[in-house]
């Protein structure tokens, strides 16, 4: 393993990433492919700590970057830097720098948005796509937070994404830094149902933070892991929140319309989700089937939480192994 840095051409952004080359196999001229891991918010490549050693032990190469705004990677303040098309090109530049042609790509949370655009703009570079908990995001559609909250309230009985407005607002990063432990126990909850009252409704997360509320530490997180996470995120929440500001501002709409992207995944796809709960919007699996031109595999873990790669690590690792081995090269 090595931690590396790369600055893509035509940009001043420096990316840090963890890289495990494929292990030598019996046929050294035909090593196993590399797996690209794309984390979400509010995390870094550290959230793949249970997948990286496992996948590497199977002989796969692994590349896990800190995405733009996170960890050791650059944290531009210019919102335009967070356009999905340019960030996708920067990830491809990392693969080029390592001499890697094609990868299996895995995304979680907002990393699934970036994975969606990688599949749209660079499909020839992907052997497969794996979406953890969050599905493929269709291109060229205007995001209207008020409408989304209204629709989810009608369908689920509560606003599902009220927190997005807070994340996209000014001063949100400062508040997350100030109440970092309170935020962590809410966003990595001991009980997923905590989100229904204290995260999803508009204004709920602000009340939680300003009261400095604390929930019990999630059983899938150790005290040492919490400390490591906070070292990486505290002071850096605001740059990471630019992903949400980009979403709410619809800065990708023009690129996606100009590119005339057809929402279709031609490569094999794995969708791995928690077991069904009150938090899941209806039609998740059906929506994925509608855009998958090739094979789609849907697997559900035995837990209900969003952080499947942490909470259901052994199941996720097994699903990944079975999926990649089933594809071959």
Within a domain: 37? yes
Amino acid 294: pLDDT: 77
- Predicted confidence (pLDDT) per residue in 72-81, tens digit: 999 999 999 9
Instruction: Reply yes or no on whether the pLDDT at 329 is more than 60.
Output: no
Same domain, yes or no, for 164 and 184?
yes
Quick check: 114 and 15 in contact, CB under 8 A?
Answer: no
Same domain, yes or no, for 115 and 155?
no
- Predicted confidence (pLDDT) per residue in 149-201, tens digit: 999 999 999 999 999 999 999 999 999 999 999 999 999 999 999 999 999 99
The rounded distance, in Å, linking the Cα atoms of 278 and 157 is 9
Amino acid 295: pLDDT: 85
Amino acid 10: pLDDT: 84
The three-state (H, E, C) secondary structure of the chain, written as one string: CEEEEECCCCCCCCEEEEEECCCCCCCCCCCCCEEEEECCCCCCHHHHCCCHHHHHHCCCEEEEECCCCCCCCCCCCCHHHHCHHHHHHHHHHHHHHCCCCCEEEEEECHHHHHHHHHHHHCHHHEEEEEEECCCCCCCCCCCCHHHHHHHHHHHHCCCCCCHHHHHHCCCHHHHHHHCHHHHHHHHCCCCCCHHHHHCCCCCHHHHHHHCCCCCCCCCCCCHHHHHHHHHHHCCCHHHHCHHHHHHHHCCCHHHHHHCCCCCCECCCEEEEECCCCCCCCCCHHHHHHHHECCCEEEEECCCCCCCHHHHCHHHHHHHHHHHHHHHCC
Last residue of some domain: 220, 248, 276?
248
Instruction: Reply yes or no on whether the pLDDT at 25 is more than 90.
Output: no
Same domain, yes or no, for 7 and 132?
yes
Same domain, yes or no, for 217 and 114?
no
Amino acid 269: pLDDT: 97
Same domain, yes or no, for 188 and 283?
no
- Predicted confidence (pLDDT) per residue in 107-137, tens digit: 999 999 999 999 999 999 999 999 999 999 9
Amino acid 27: pLDDT: 52
Amino acid 1: pLDDT: 62
pLDDT band at 234 (very low <50, low <70, confident <90, very high): very high
Closest CA to 278 of 215, 208, 195, 205: 195
Same domain, yes or no, for 182 and 117?
no
Same domain, yes or no, for 162 and 130?
no
Amino acid 209: pLDDT: 98
User: What pTM value is reported for the model?
Assistant: 0.96
Within a domain: 279? yes
Instruction: Reply yes or no on whether the pLDDT at 26 is more than 60.
Output: no
Last residue of some domain: 221, 248, 275?
248
Mean pLDDT on 279-292: 92
Amino acid 12: pLDDT: 87
The rounded distance, in Å, linking the Cα atoms of 195 and 216 is 14
Mean pLDDT of the chain: 95
The rounded distance, in Å, linking the Cα atoms of 106 and 140 is 22
Higher pLDDT, 9 or 15: 15
Within a domain: 46? yes
The rounded distance, in Å, linking the Cα atoms of 50 and 196 is 28
Same domain, yes or no, for 292 and 239?
no
Same domain, yes or no, for 191 and 50?
no
Give how far Cα 124 sits from Cα of 10, 35, 61, 95, 127, Å. Answer: 22, 15, 19, 13, 8
Within a domain: 254? no
Last residue of some domain: 224, 248, 272?
248
Output the domain CATH number for residue 282: 3.40.50.1820
The rounded distance, in Å, linking the Cα atoms of 71 and 45 is 8
Within a domain: 256? no
Instruction: Reply yes or no on whether the pLDDT at 92 is more than 60.
Output: yes
- Predicted confidence (pLDDT) per residue in 298-318, tens digit: 999 999 999 999 999 999 999
Give how far Cα 240 sits from Cα of 29, 174, 322, Å. Answer: 40, 12, 32
Same domain, yes or no, for 74 and 170?
no
Name the β-bridge partners of 3: 18
Q: How many domains does the chain have?
A: 2
Task: Provide the domain limits for residue 61.
Answer: 2-141+261-327
Mean pLDDT on 135-154: 95
High-pLDDT (> 90) share of the chain, %: 91
Amino acid 248: pLDDT: 97
Instruction: Reply yes or no on whether the pLDDT at 29 is more than 80.
Output: no
Within a domain: 211? yes
Same domain, yes or no, for 178 and 102?
no
């Amino acid at each position: 393993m090595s931690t590396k840095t790369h600055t893509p051409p035509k940009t001043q952004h420096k990316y840090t990433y963890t890289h495990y080359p494929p292990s030598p196999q019996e046929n050294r001229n035909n090593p196993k492919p590399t797996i690209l891991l794309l984390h979400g918010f509010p995390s870094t490549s550290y959230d793949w700590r249970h997948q990286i050693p496992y996948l590497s032990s199977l002989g796969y190469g692994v590349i896990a970057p800190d995405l733009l705004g996170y960890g050791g990677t650059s944290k531009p303040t210019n919102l335009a830097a967070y356009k999905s098309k340019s960030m996708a090109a920067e990830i491809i530049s990392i693969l080029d720098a390592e001499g890697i042609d094609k990868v299996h790509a895995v995304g979680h949370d907002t990393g699934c948005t970036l994975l969606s655009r990688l599949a749209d703009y660079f499909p020839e570079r992907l052997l497969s796509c794996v979406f953890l908990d969050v599905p493929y995001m269709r291109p060229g559609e205007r995001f209207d937070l008020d409408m989304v909250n209204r629709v989810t309230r009608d369908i689920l009985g509560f606003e599902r994404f009220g927190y997005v407005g807070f994340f996209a607002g000014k001063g949100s990063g400062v508040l997350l830094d100030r109440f970092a432990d309170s935020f962590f126990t809410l966003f990595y909850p001991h009980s997923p149902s905590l989100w229904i009252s204290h995260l999803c409704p508009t204004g709920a997360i602000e009340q939680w933070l300003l009261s400095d509320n604390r929930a019990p530490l999630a059983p899938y997180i150790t005290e040492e892991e919490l400390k490591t996470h906070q070292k990486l995120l505290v002071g850096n929440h605001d740059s990471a929140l630019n992903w949400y500001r980009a979403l709410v501002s619809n800065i990708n709409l023009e690129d996606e319309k100009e590119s005339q992207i057809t929402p279709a995944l031609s490569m094999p796809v794995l969708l791995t989700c928690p077991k069904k709960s009150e938090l899941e919007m209806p039609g998740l699996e059906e929506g994925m089937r509608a855009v998958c031109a090739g094979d789609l595999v849907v697997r559900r873990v035995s837990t209900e939480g969003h952080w499947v790669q942490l909470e259901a690590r052994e199941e996720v690792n097994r699903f990944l192994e079975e999926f990649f081995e089933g594809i071959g090269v």
